[in-house]
Structure 1
Amino acid sequence: MPRVLLVENDFSTRRMITLFLSHKGYEVIEAENGEEALDIVEKKGFPDVVITDVEMPVMGGIALIKKLREREVPSIIFTMTAFSDPETMKEAAFAGADEFISKPIDFKLVAIRLDMALKAREFHIEKAQAEHFLKLENTYSSEAITELKDRNRNLASDLLKKIYRLSEHRDDETHEHTLRVGLISEKIGKLFGLGKEETYLLKLAAPLHDLGKIGIPDAILLKPGKLTNIEFNVMKTHSIIGYEILKDSTTDVLKMAASIALTHHERWDGSGYPNAFRGNEIPIGGLIVAIADSFDAIVSKRPYKKAMSLESGFEEIRINAGKLYSPSVVNAFLEAKEGILEFYSDV
């Protein structure tokens, strides 16, 4: 029986949710505030799911989420809030919330979301493990890393694979998409004139461009139709979330990945996000991955669109040189056309 920790200071709301979840077969543990919830976790272990309100006395929901994540509690965390409050959603996502329950509460939708979340439990466990490994990696001094380099080589490789899986698990994008973005970026980097080492790092770092999507609610990330303006503004935060996860790394691959995560949606004419950088304000990794990611998205089928032909994909990138993309990077991309087509022989 899945265990749910329900944190809500309003008694009538809490009882109503508890009765509903109990009827659905969940074991519900109630807490009036974040402090009481932490005490329960310390005494009874972590639950499968935490559902918390935001505004509560003693300790609110955002502070609770942060403390749970600091303790590396791998529970799936739902935040109860109004979808008309994007700032609260953004703050909760940064704190470590996995999903949102909008108020007033639609109980049927809550049941569906809980069922889906529990089916994806393996993902949430791997997410917690990967974040734990990232924290460990950042605590080592440069001297310790040098000393442990050989022993940790396999660990670093395994960690990258885990993070790739996390990045792929939350989206409709496939394992092939993340690999192709890395391979296409490598081809562009070589013809652009990057050095051998930098090109290799780019190949490894590029697939992490959308890692920040692990912080975007499923209701937005997996929505088959067009996003509202509020939803799109939340979606755009994935570039910042990815950067925040990766930015303090001491390894060259994850340093480059942090830069790419932040800048792969910036555009040459300044129309991108999150910082509206333009031209050469955008680092080369971001300029290259912007093209690789866009091209693969154009020629790939998605639930909300049909795939365009490969020739149409190349033409779409070409006509946007000097607008959305760096002209010199586009030239390298077009020069790499024959090699890039090899990645789509089975498509």
Structure 2
Amino acid sequence: MIPSGGIGGKNHGRDPKARGRENEGVSSARATILAVDAAEGVRRLLETTLGKSQVVKTAPDAHSALAWAQLASPPELVLLDTEPTGMSGYELCKALRAMPGFADVPVIFLAERRDTQGLVQGFSLGALDFLVKPLAAPVLLQRIRGHLEQLARERAVGLQGTDQRIARLVRAMHWYERSLGGNRAQRLAQYARALALAAGAREVAAELLAKAAPVHDVGKLAVPAELLRNERTLAGAEREQFERHAAIGAEIIGEHEDALLKLARTLALTHHEYWDGSGYPGRLQGNQIPWAGRVMAIVDAFESTTAAQYGGSRMSTEKAVDEITAGTGTQYDPALVEALRKAAAEFRKVHGAYPERAADAGDDLVIGAPTRPAAQPAEEPAAPADDLVLGAPARDPTEDAGLTMMGPLR
């Protein structure tokens, strides 16, 4: 039990300084974080790492976490081990959110491995992130700080509901990919909108497509990093594993009545279907492919060829349009290729308005990735245990590397 932060003391609620700050940034007060993990070493390191800047409450099991939640105000963030004592982390998440005031509490899952089933469960429950132990202490601090800042921005603009769900999935992908520092989501949204309008879609439909487009590749969160980093053409079992990302993305988003989430699921599932039936996962052909999926196939191809991957070469916008045009009637809907040519000037404008840029503080840091150390802010020196690794077994803490949002395999 950790005396200052462990559950069981008299101070069950939030830090008084954290109250009444719903419209303020997180930097103005200390956020309360509930961390649930069966391993005492993990709980201690979480408190050591995060406790200097936040109020950390720790619980060794599901029963203790639920008991604390009955007496406390909802925390700003919950860190949940996927396998705590008493019930699974996913069951505990559901139980916490069923409690008064906890329905919308943000959750990050901590797992021993990045298994597809667990990742899908976590994000289906609306998780902010799915982190795999071991976690280097400075990187964990940077990651949590980034999520708290994002939550503050959500409160500031009143983001909620399905828009919030989409934004959080985009953020999870942004933290996880490392090839582009930023602006990918903005480009995807604007390309999708421009192509839809050029093809004759109504403004309201184009705007909905723009909102859904940035999460079309969310299933790549479940693809091993080494497959996404590979520049060679994938084949055999590796290709089969990669191609599962479309169906996994649809599963992460889930089935909903909401129009935006319905569309997002369609994009995730069908953006790799080809006009001639040679795509995946359903081998759909021609008009069997939903129109939105046919739009996204072209948008995805354009983004992939005009944005450099891992510092590699990229095509000009003109050459990218020509290459997509060469796939008319095989990969791409002929009518939509014609719409792309009409919208080429708008695509160039978007490409110039949202260029690739250096990541903001911590954006290029990925848990377990072999990258530069997380920069510590000047006013807050590194924690004494910066060289420690959260939940480290006897293996290299860099092996759970980050992913990059690659485009179509060529």
Contact 1:187 1:339 in 2 (8 A): no
Equivalent residue number for residue 329 of structure 1: 336
Residue 313 of structure 1: CA displacement? 0.2
* Distance apart, 1:179 and its partner CA: 4.0
User: Is the contact made by 2:216 and 2:249 (CA closer than 8 Å) also made in structure 1?
Assistant: yes
Instruction: Look up the equivalent residue of 2:321 and give its one-letter code.
Output: F
Percent identity, aligned pairs only, is 21
Shift of 1:314: 1.0
Task: Write out per-residue CA displacement over residues 179-211 of structure 1, whole angstroms, 9 at most, x where no aligned residue.
Answer: 422332234412xxx5xx3x5412432342233
Change (3 A) 1:6 1:35: same
Q: Specify the alignment match of 2:12 in structure 1.
A: none
**What's the counterpart of residue 89 of structure 1?**
119
Kept in 2, the 8 Å contact 1:8–1:31? The answer is yes
| Correspondence for 1:120 among 133, 136, 147 | 147
Deviation sequence 1:235-266 (CA, Å, 0-9, x none):
54663157427x312x5x66545533443333
Query: Is the deviation greater in 320-329 or in 298-307?
Result: 298-307
Unpaired segments of 5 or more residues in structure 1?
A: 135-158
Q: CA 1:22–1:260 in 2, change beyond 3 Å: closer, same or farther?
A: closer
Taking the TM superposition and a 5 Å limit, the aligned residue runs for 1:151-230 are: 166=168, 169=171, 170-171=173-174, 172=180, 173-174=182-183, 176-190=186-200, 197=202, 200-211=204-215, 225-226=229-230
Cross-structure match for 1:153: none
The TM-score, its normalising length taken from structure 2, stands at 0.59
In structure 2, distance between residues paired with 1:259 and 1:130? 27
Verify the 8 A CA contact 2:35 2:56 in the aligned structure 1.
yes
User: Matched residues in 2 for 1:240 and 1:127: separation?
Assistant: 25
What TM-score comes out, normalization by structure 1 length? Answer: 0.68
Q: Does the Cα contact within 8 Å between 1:6 and 1:52 map onto a contact in 2?
A: yes
Distance 1:267 1:36, change over 3 A: farther
Are the structure 2 counterparts of residues 115 and 132 from structure 1 closer, same or farther at C-alpha, using a change threshold of 3 Å? same
Counterpart of 1:22 (choices 47, 63, 70) is 47
**Aligned-residue RMSD, C-alpha:** 4.1
CA contact (8 A) 1:127 1:166 kept: no
Q: Supply the distance in 2 between the matched residues of 1:2 and 1:291 (Cα, whole angstroms).
A: 43
Q: Which residue of 2 aligns with 1:98?
A: 128
Provide the rounded CA distance (Å) in 2 between the counterparts of 1:344 and 1:4: 39
Relative to total residues, which structure has the larger helix share, 1 or 2? 1
Q: Distance in 2 between matches of 1:280 and 1:47?
A: 48
Retained in 2: the 8 A contact 1:205–1:256? Answer: yes
Residue-by-residue CA offset, 1:75-112 (whole Å, 9 max, x unaligned): 341222223x322222222223333343xx435x2541
* Residue 249 of structure 2: aligned partner: 239
Amino acid at match of 1:239: G
Q: Distance in 2 between matches of 1:57 and 1:164?
A: 31
Aligned-residue offset at 1:24:
2.6
How far apart in 2 are the matches of 1:45 and 1:231? Answer: 43
User: Per-residue deviation at 1:48?
Assistant: 4.2
Which of structures 1 and 2 has the larger relative contact order (alpha carbons within 8 angstroms, sep 6+)?
2
Query: Residue in 1 aligned with 2:59?
Result: 31
- Say whether the 8 Å CA contact 1:79–1:97 is kept in structure 2: no
Structure 2 residue matching 1:210: 3-state secondary structure: helix
What residue number does 1:281 align with?
A: 288
